[in-house]
Structure 1
Amino acid sequence: NMRLLKAKADGGFSLTTFPINPPRYAILSHTWEADDQEVKLNDIENRKGTHKTGYKKIEFCARQAQHDNIEYFWVDSCCIDQSSSAELSTAINSMYRWYQNSAKCYIYMADVSANSSSEWESCFLGSRWFTRGWTLQELIAPRSTEFFSEEGMYLGNKEQLEDLIQEATGISNQVLQGYPPAQTSIEERLSWIANRNTKFGEDIVYSVLGFFGIHMLPMYGERAVHAFRRLGQEIEKTITITQPRRSTYRNLKVPKADTLG
């Protein structure tokens, strides 16, 4: 099931669940505010949350989708029932595909201002968005990706900003241009998350499942080291005789959990 948002004529938003074959939709990539400032599912259902800092991101996504003639859009904070472990597990294992199948992915960079054209590139390179675990797949999976400043000003698409993105992430231009991650080495895919962080340590592992085509049940509280061990076991099951039997997942730096997701 995929739950999608739609702007209403009265300025609010409606939610529709699509069991299969969702319609064309846009998707938002962002870094989370403090948890109590993000708009959640029950906020949308009860028409609350307009005072929260995160509400402007939803309004931005709605405006941009409308501009692109896309009726529906998806925002993780309010399209997933975070209180349901079963729904959260399904969402985590579906996330890569949801981003991959989106018509447009809007990357909202809350710490990049476009008011000063001479300085936004340095802010872009230093953006917190490039340090988060979940934003990695949100950069690579979508077919069409566009970057926006905190004011909602268009900064460029992935192709136009490719050199800056490569500098910020270390990801090869080939992959940024659409080369399938599955065709790269296991070591290369794992290296992309070496300097990224997540709110919960385990999430750094769950955030890369899509790069390996692996389904893995999230077990919050297991700690990142154990999650990496499980990931390594699943990766080894997929290794063919043309690939080396030993991967470097055991030696990968385990990022520390921090205060924001």
Structure 2
Amino acid sequence: MIRLIDTGCLSLQTFEGREVPEYAILSHRWEADEISLQELQGNLNQHKAGWQKLRQFCQYAESKGHRFVWMDTCCIDKTSSAELSEAINSMFKWYRRAKVCYACLCDVPARGDLSATEWTKKFKSSEWFTRGWTLQELLASRELIFLPPTWEGEIGTRASLSQEVKEVTGIPKEPLSRGWSLQDGFGAPRFTVAQIMSWASARRTTRTEDTAYSLMGLFHINMPLLYGEGLNAFIRLQLEIMSKYDDNICIWAVIGRLTDL
């Protein structure tokens, strides 16, 4: 089950299985005054900045021909632990399934506002690259387009900026240009678990548990969510990885990552 927002009227619609229509999806860094599902449903607290972000996202997506969009702040009922668990376990699939992912970088101006050197430095220092959840969003999406906070014009795409993204994240240009796949066409691993963990090593999440939960999709792992378990979430992820992948290096990579938390 997935909830999508109609870009024309900002109403929520629920879809199941094969009935899910084409949609665009948003990647962004959460800021103050984001809105919840309940606020969207009841048209509440419209003074919040989150409403402005939602309206701008819907207007931009609609201008590009998208009738439906998905936004993590207000398309999930976070008051339901069961729904939240299902959503986080489905997150990678939802980003993968989207027609396009728009990544709004709230701290990166449009290209014409700065010199090329200054703009590149600003882009590479964006806090978007420091958040745990955006790693999955960067890799899972079939197409990712970066936008400035004004929602006017494109900064570039994951493919066109693959060299800059590589320099920031350490991720090779291939998955940035061609899209993410854990295995090649013959079923062989394309990247070691240690490599993937290294891409996440400098990223942070607000909740300790999300450091592990935000990586589940990249390893095609499903786990129940237990907020309050702290570092045990990463231990459970480690055990799932060890049982699924024959990659001994991953053991030391995960243990090393744990010591940094």
TM-score between both structures, scaled by the size of structure 2: 0.90
More helix by share: 2
Residues 207-216 or 109-118, more deviating = 109-118
Counterparts in 2 of 1:62 and 1:100: CA distance versus 1, 3 Å: same
Instruction: Identify which of 25, 29, 32 aligns with 1:31.
Output: 29
| 1:16 counterpart letter in structure 2 | Q
Contact 1:109-1:129 within 8 A present in 2 as well: yes
More deviation in 98-107 or 38-47?
38-47
Deviation, 1:7, is 2.5
Matches within 5 A, 1:20-99: 20-21=17-18, 22-34=20-32, 37-99=33-95
Q: Is the 8 A contact 2:193 2:250 kept in 1?
A: no
User: How far off its partner does 1:254 sit?
Assistant: 5.2
| 1:170 Cα deviation after fit | 1.1
Bigger Cα displacement from structure 2, 107-116 vs 47-56: 47-56
Q: Percent identity?
A: 38
Identify which of 244, 256, 261 aligns with 1:238.
244
Q: Give the count of matched residue pairs.
A: 248
Contact kept? 1:109, 1:127, Cα under 8 Å: yes
Q: Note the alpha carbon deviations across 1:46-93, whole angstroms, 9 max, x for none.
A: 112321112222122212221221110000000000111000000000
Q: Which runs of 5 or more residues in structure 2 are unaligned?
A: 184-189
Contact 1:113 1:149 in 2 (8 A): yes
RMSD: 1.6
> What per-residue deviation string (whole Å, max 9, x for no partner) do you get for residues 183-230 of structure 1?
31111111111000001011010001011111011111111x211111
Are residues 1:251 and 2:247 paired?
no
1:194 aligns with 2:201: yes
What residue number does 1:142 align with? 141
> What's the secondary structure of 2:74's corresponding residue?
helix
Contact map agreement 1:41 1:80 (CA 8 A) in 2: yes
**Residues 36, 74 of structure 2: 8 Å contact kept:** yes
2: CA distance between counterparts of 1:88 and 1:49?
23
Structure 1 portions without partners, runs of 5+? 257-261
Label 1:116 to 1:226 Cα distance change in 2 as closer, same or farther (>3 A).
Answer: same
